[in-house]
Structure 1
Amino acid sequence: MTVAVELERALAAGEADARARSQAGEPLGKVLEELLLTAEIAAGGGMVASILLVDDSGERLRHGAAPNLPAVYCAAIDGIRIGPGVGSCGTAAFLGHPVYVTDIERDELWADFRDLALRYGLRACWSSPFADDSGAVIGTFAIYHHTPRSPTPVELDAVAAIANAVRGAVLDHRRFNAGARPGRALDEPPSFASDDDEGLP
């Protein structure tokens, strides 16, 4: 079985599980975390996935889920402003289309976050925004790699498929939970484990 077929099947199961969790009222952050873990395993390893969600102001991205990124890194980028030159995700949310940074160390989009990313061995970041039914961007899905690299055609398809599954999970959660908003990944403000809080910018 190819990775593409395995991923397709895993995402179908992951989406069904996410829908059931949302209907049961589970916090969106937990729903998205499980979906990302499913995608990471099905993709065969080597990638680290992340979701950021647009806050109520429409100007910043808040932590959604990133089960295998360092907690300190997640805390540092939580609340980044949407705009050009704000890493892969801030730029993708601003432009409304995918942004593939193949070498964080050399790409100017990462000028303000380069040292932080390199500190944790993050060398490439491919980000895709996703939108609600009106076309407004409500978040970004990103894949990080520990080596500089460009996505293959198969990987481009995988990124699009996972981003679409994430979009569906976010919208389902909003429908099933009347008070949920796209910029709130959790029922409370995000908290991060203090596994390494030295050197935070």
Structure 2
Amino acid sequence: MSASPSPGSEPSKREWFSELIGRTRFIVIIAVIAVLLVAFSLFLQGTLIALSTVYETWRDMFAHGIQSEANTLTVEFSQVVGTMLKAVVFYLIGVGLYSLFIRPLNLTSALGVESLSDLEQKVVSVIIVILGVTFLEHFIRWEKPLETLYFAGALALAGGSLVLFQNVHKGSGSDLQQPEAKLRARRELFEHDTEGREIQERDVERAEQSTDAKSQGKVSPESGSE
């Protein structure tokens, strides 16, 4: 007769499988590397565009006068700002995913990113600014007024939808994000050069208290994410 499986064998298999599933979170590092490479490329591209624009602006200004480059200068530097903001979006996504799935970072805590909801809020905020900068470029050019008007309407719809999304999800971020935790993370990051973040027991206790207070209606949902 075959030996019957021991009572403790099944739980051990489940624990092994659970640990294996949990370890799959490290696959996110592929996305982190890819997104950070995109961010680095955009930062480099924005820097090169800025240097080229500054050089050409000063050259043309000495050749033709400052008035000839007034509008063009604003448009070109707006493009630099737009490129840098796009780089910031990818950078936030990269470090945010790393902090959420691989290891907590003081940088993301200082920026107020403690959950996927927080990351969405930050990214949406930057995208709204990018939309504004993009419209500013078209408005300054003022080449085709009717198309500019249509473009403004499209951006207004897109921006309004994003603002509505932010308002709907406002306050739904992590309860770990307390003001003193952000200040502590900033001190460790900028004064002590400590990149990794240690989640202390008092942070967990305050998060539990904040969650209980929100569920009982003692505080507003937005108060825990400031």
TM over 0.5, shorter chain: no
Give the helix-richer structure, 1 or 2: 2
- TM-score w.r.t. length of structure 2: 0.29
- TM-score w.r.t. length of structure 1: 0.31
Which structure: larger Rg? 2
Higher relative contact order (CA 8 A, sep 6+): 1
Give the strand-richer structure, 1 or 2: 1
